[in-house]
């Protein structure tokens, strides 16, 4: 009788282990798909899913996914300088994101929105200057809220 019980327990444990491996593999595949599609969500404190990335104002494909060949700069040729001022659409996108995701640091906003970090920093600064967002904290601990 103990042999049958041992065999039954081993069979149950083997099936459970196989199920755990299957679920972990599926979870990894889902996470890879989620990251490659550019969406964020899941179990990070119930935060809202990632917004579309801000358009790049310059050269190569600096976003997620496959690497694109850099585009030629217009004008005299050579490298493009820093990203320009954020457009009204960029400001609206960042403001809408902050409105829906209060209490995030600049780095977190940049990661979740995607796009150029410099452009997002400039948009946050402009939104702060115009009173559309307010901040709490100092330096890297600064968090953004809708005004």
60-117 pLDDT, tens digit each: 444 444 444 444 444 444 444 456 788 999 999 999 999 999 999 999 999 999 888 9
Cβ-count burial of 32 within 10 angstroms (0-12 exposed, 13-18 middle, 19+ buried)? exposed
48: Cβ contacts below 8 Å, ≥ 6 apart:
41, 100, 101
Phi, psi torsion values for 82, nearest 5 degrees: -65, 160
The answer to whether 14 and 21 have CB atoms below 8 angstroms apart is: no
Q: Which CATH architecture has domain 88-146?
A: Orthogonal Bundle (1.10)
Q: Does the predicted model carry a pTM greater than 0.75?
A: no
Sheet holding 133-136, edge to edge: 104-105, 143-146, 133-136
């Amino acid at each position: 009788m103990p042999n049958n019980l041992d065999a039954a327990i081993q069979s149950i444990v083997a099936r459970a282990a196989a199920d755990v491996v299957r679920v972990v593999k599926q979870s990894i595949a889902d996470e890879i798909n989620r990251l490659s599609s550019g969406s964020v969500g899941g179990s990070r404190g119930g935060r809202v899913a990632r917004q579309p990335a801000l358009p790049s104002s310059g050269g190569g494909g600096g976003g997620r996914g496959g690497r694109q060949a850099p585009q030629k700069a217009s004008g005299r040729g050579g490298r493009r300088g820093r990203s320009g001022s954020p457009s009204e659409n960029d400001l609206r996108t960042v403001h809408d994101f902050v409105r829906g995701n209060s209490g995030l640091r600049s780095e977190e906003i940049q990661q979740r929105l995607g796009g150029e970090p410099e452009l997002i920093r400039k948009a946050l600064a402009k939104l702060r200057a115009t009173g559309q967002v307010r901040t709490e904290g100092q330096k890297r601990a600064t968090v953004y809220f809708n005004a």
